[in-house]
């Protein structure tokens, strides 16, 4: 708190990013959903060949090189692409552009009860009324809950975070069709991690109110580069550009644009890494299940796991952290009995499982000793 801050900054509860250990700290980092594999060699090559003299010039406002690479991959026009400084910035601009403030509307933005924890921060920061729609068994989202509910917009992560569950394209279509006067944002930050993944981009031709947001942080291993994007109708993209140009016309630097385009164009490497993560996730699910964990089916590069009753999620989180293994614990009512575990390399997940098994076994042995003493 400070007397020099305005009222909003004094009152807001900012987003808390996942822990980032200091450089050189040796840990198994499974807490922020980063990709465990390095970026595309072609991205590295593009950086090595970059002419440093070009940094004297401002970058391309629209990141045309990146937009063209995305457009070619998705089968849309470059005019349907908006590139921003990570998907968080793109999402923030979407909230600012498409959703009305409390001053102009009594209608709320609809988001799932448990979802990406930046959404409520955006709502508070931009003074947007919000309504959380309850999830069902095993954190399942029911599209019919978003039908016949008055709103000024909808934002859904697919797959959802932190639950890891995905909804089908027909559910997204139902939501868009039932809310023709509201923009429906589908946040696909964790797309690509199903064997046959479906993207809402295929629905854009049917629904001018649909906006798909993506990032290069996860499947492209470029979290440190900060590049995200939206795919939508030209009408929606123009709105995002108006918002961007009202505070920063140059969100993506020249070096980032070069490396991002190279990574997107290297589809073979992207596929190799994607498959490895899926395989490591399936191994992790099998082993955690064997140890008594329960979790919804994951379509993401993480699992949302509930430990067996003998050890709490918070205790396991702390014990793993003490052993140099970082996972994510939220402590939020309704999900405080779960851990979000990012998928690393197969070797990292084997080390993780080995330590988890030791923690569970230690608790079991301790409980057995207590029972023997009572006898």
Beta bridge partners of 231: 81, 212
Residue with tokens 């981009």: 201
The pLDDT of residue 105 is: 86
Query: pLDDT band at 373, cuts 50/70/90?
Result: low
- Mapping DSSP to helix (H, G, I), strand (E, B) and coil, where does residue 188 land? coil
The pLDDT of residue 17 is: 86
In this model, does residue 372 exceed pLDDT 60? no
Q: What is the pTM of this model?
A: 0.95
Query: pLDDT band at 375, cuts 50/70/90?
Result: low
pLDDT tens per residue, range 179-190: 999 999 999 999
Give the CATH number of domain 41-266; options: 3.90.1170.40, 3.40.640.10, 3.40.50.720, 3.30.70.1380. 3.40.640.10
Span 10-25, mean pLDDT?
86
User: Is residue 208 classed exposed, middle or buried when 0-12, 13-18 and 19+ CB atoms within 10 A define those classes?
Assistant: middle
Can you tell me the distance from the alpha carbon of 316 to that of 369, in angstroms, rounded to the nearest whole number? 20
The pLDDT of residue 186 is: 98
Span 283-291, mean pLDDT?
98
The pLDDT of residue 374 is: 58
pLDDT tens per residue, range 103-117: 998 999 999 999 999
The pLDDT of residue 25 is: 76
pLDDT tens per residue, range 127-167: 999 999 999 999 999 999 999 999 999 999 999 999 999 99
**Which of 155-159, 274-278, 332-336, 368-372 has the lowest average pLDDT?**
368-372
Token readout for 362 is: 């230690």
Domain ranges in the chain?
A: 7-36+268-362, 41-266
Please determine, looking at this structure, whether the domain spanning 7-36+268-362 carries the CATH number 3.40.640.10. no
- Residue 111 near residue 155 (C-beta atoms within 8 A): yes
The pLDDT of residue 368 is: 60
CB atoms closer than 10 angstroms to residue 44: 14
Query: pLDDT band at 18, cuts 50/70/90?
Result: confident
Sign of CA dihedral 14, 16, 115, 89: positive
The pLDDT of residue 367 is: 65
C-alpha closest to that of 116 among 144, 95, 96, 99: 95
Token readout for 72 is: 């070619």
Query: pLDDT band at 197, cuts 50/70/90?
Result: confident
Can you tell me the distance from the alpha carbon of 36 to that of 32, in angstroms, rounded to the nearest whole number? 11
């Amino acid at each position: 708190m400070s007397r020099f801050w305005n009222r909003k900054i004094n009152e807001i509860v900012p987003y808390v990013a996942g822990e980032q250990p200091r450089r050189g700290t040796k840990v198994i980092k499974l807490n922020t959903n980063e990709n465990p594999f390095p970026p595309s060699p072609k991205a590295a090559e593009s950086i090595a060949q970059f002419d440093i003299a070009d940094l004297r010039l401002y970058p391309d406002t629209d990141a045309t090189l990146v937009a063209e690479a995305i457009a070619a991959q998705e089968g849309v026009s470059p005019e349907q692409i908006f590139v921003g400084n990570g998907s968080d910035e793109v999402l923030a601009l979407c909230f600012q552009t498409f959703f009305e403030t409390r001053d102009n509307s009594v209608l709320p933005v609809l988001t799932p009860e448990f979802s990406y924890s930046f959404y409520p921060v955006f709502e508070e920061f931009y003074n947007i009324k919000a309504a959380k729609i309850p999830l069902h068994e095993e954190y399942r989202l029911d599209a019919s809950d978003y039908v016949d509910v008055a709103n000024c917009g909808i934002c859904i992560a697919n797959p959802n975070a932190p639950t890891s569950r995905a909804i089908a394209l027909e559910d997204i279509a139902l939501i868009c069709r039932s809310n023709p006067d509201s923009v429906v944002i589908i946040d696909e930050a964790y797309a690509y991690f199903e064997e046959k993944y479906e993207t809402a981009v295929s629905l854009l031709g049917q629904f001018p109110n649909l906006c798909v947001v993506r990032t290069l942080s996860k499947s492209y291993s470029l979290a440190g580069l900060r590049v995200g994007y939206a795919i939508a109708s030209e009408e929606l993209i123009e709105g995002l550009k108006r918002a961007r140009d009202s505070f920063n016309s140059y969100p993506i630097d020249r070096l980032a644009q070069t490396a991002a385009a190279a990574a997107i164009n290297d589809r073979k490497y992207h596929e190799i890494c994607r498959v490895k993560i899926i395989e490591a996730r399936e191994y992790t699910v099998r082993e955690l299940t064997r140890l008594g964990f329960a979790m919804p089916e994951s379509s993401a590069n993480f699992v949302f796991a509930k430990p067996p009753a003998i050890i709490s999620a918070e205790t396991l989180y702390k014990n793993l952290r003490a052993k140099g293994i970082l996972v994510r614990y939220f402590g939020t009512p309704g999900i405080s009995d779960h851990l979000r575990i990012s998928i690393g390399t197969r070797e990292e997940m084997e080390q993780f499982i080995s330590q988890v098994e030791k923690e569970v076994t230690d608790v079991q042995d301790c409980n057995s000793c207590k029972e023997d003493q009572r006898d």
